[in-house]
Every structure is written in C-alpha cells, then in structure tokens.
Copies of this chain bind each other. A is one copy, B any other.
Amino acid sequence: MIFLNVLIVFAHPEPKSLNGALKDFAVQTLERKGNNVKVSDLNDMKFKANLDREDFLNQENEERFNPIMEQLHAAKTDSFASDIKAEMEKINWADLVIFQFPIWYGSLPAILKGWFERVFANGFSSDMFQGKIYENGFMTGKKAMLSFTTGGPEENYYREIPDKDPNKLLPVESESLKFSGFEVIQPFVIFNAIMLSEEDAEKNFEEYKDLLEKI
C-alpha cells in the first residue's frame, strides 16, 4: 500500500457549490485510504491573481520589469513573495496535485490562472533556457489531475473531439502541466452542472470515488 501526498488546489468562490462539494469529497475519500491531503482554497486565501513586481523581494532589474527574467532570478536567489513560496512548498511536498474548478469562459477561473502564472514560475516548475521542460521539467515524477465542472452540455465540449476522449478537453491547461514534467492523468468532468439532477450528481460522485481510489 502506497500513501500519497495530495495537494488540492480549489478555485470557486462558494464553498457550498458543487465544486466545493467535490473538493470536500476528494479530501474525505483520499484521507480514508490513508493518503495525506492539503488544500489551497484560493478564494478563501484571497489569493493574489496578478503577477507583478510585488512578487519579487529582490528585483534584478528595477528599471524594466520582465516577468520571466525576474522569476528565474527569484528562483536562483530564493526571493519569491511569501504567498508564492508557501504554494511552492506544498507542490514540492505533493506526489499528486488535483485542480478543482469550474470552467468559466472556456478556461480556468482567473484566480487559478494567476496561481499558475505566479507559482508555476520559470525556474521553479521548468526552465526553458536550460532545457528543463517536459520529461526534464522540475515536476517530473509528480502527477496532476484536472477536476472540473462545465455550465454547458457535453456536446459543446466534444464537438471537435469525435472520440470523446476527456484527455483532449482543456489542451492548453494539460500542456502547461506537461511542459513542467507532470504526468497528467485522466480528468474528472461534470458537464451541464447548472442543470444537474440529484440522481446524476450521486452517480458522478460514485464515479469520482472510483477514480480517486484507483490513483
């Protein structure tokens, strides 16, 4: 029996939402099996989404702010802002990172996109100038899973994916994770969340349980 360290990055402003319920359910299901779980509840943390100068405690170039260069410099000099460092430490600890979020306008909520931009920094998650990408990325050996809900029905999302392979949903987000070396496992998706019946919800939670217990 192998126990995992699991970080759940949760991005929905309402804890009582379907996304909130899925996050709580994952915590319970994973802990019941003996795994260790930490949660980053981004809205509760009022996580800063905007990447800017304030992210860098020891700026390399105060005249002209270049995000990539400052991130590489901060990674070398251990000078990221404390909220970024706290997230990086959780990632370093984790064997598996689960992202729980609703699809808003076709992609990640801004608060979660900002988490990627600030925490998944150049020099921390990958370093393209040193070839530390994909199988050489700094996240190699870790797994990532996208767990998300959509407002629209399934057809909308599978229009261009005739084989209905859920791994092909959110290609941009999956690619960002792979770029850093993560193994991206099959996502868990609840479509049409606005219209979800209680019966379907129950089925979905059962399915999610099976998925989580197989990891």
Chain A residues in contact with chain B, CB under 8 A? Answer: 13-14, 16-17, 43, 46-47, 49-53, 64-68, 104-111, 113-114, 116-117, 120, 151, 172-173, 175-176, 194
Known: A50-B49, A105-B176, A116-B105. A66 touches B111 (CB 8 A): no
Give the distance in Å from the alpha carbon of A63 to the alpha carbon of B46 in the complex: 19
Give the distance in Å from the alpha carbon of A113 to the alpha carbon of B103 in the complex: 12
User: B172–A105 contact, CB under 8 A?
Assistant: yes
Residue of B nearest to A172 (CB): B106
For A17, list chain B residues within 8 Å (CB).
64-66
For A47, list chain B residues within 8 Å (CB).
50
Contact of A64 among B16, B52, B65, B172 (CB under 8 A): B16
For A109, list chain B residues within 8 Å (CB).
51, 113, 117
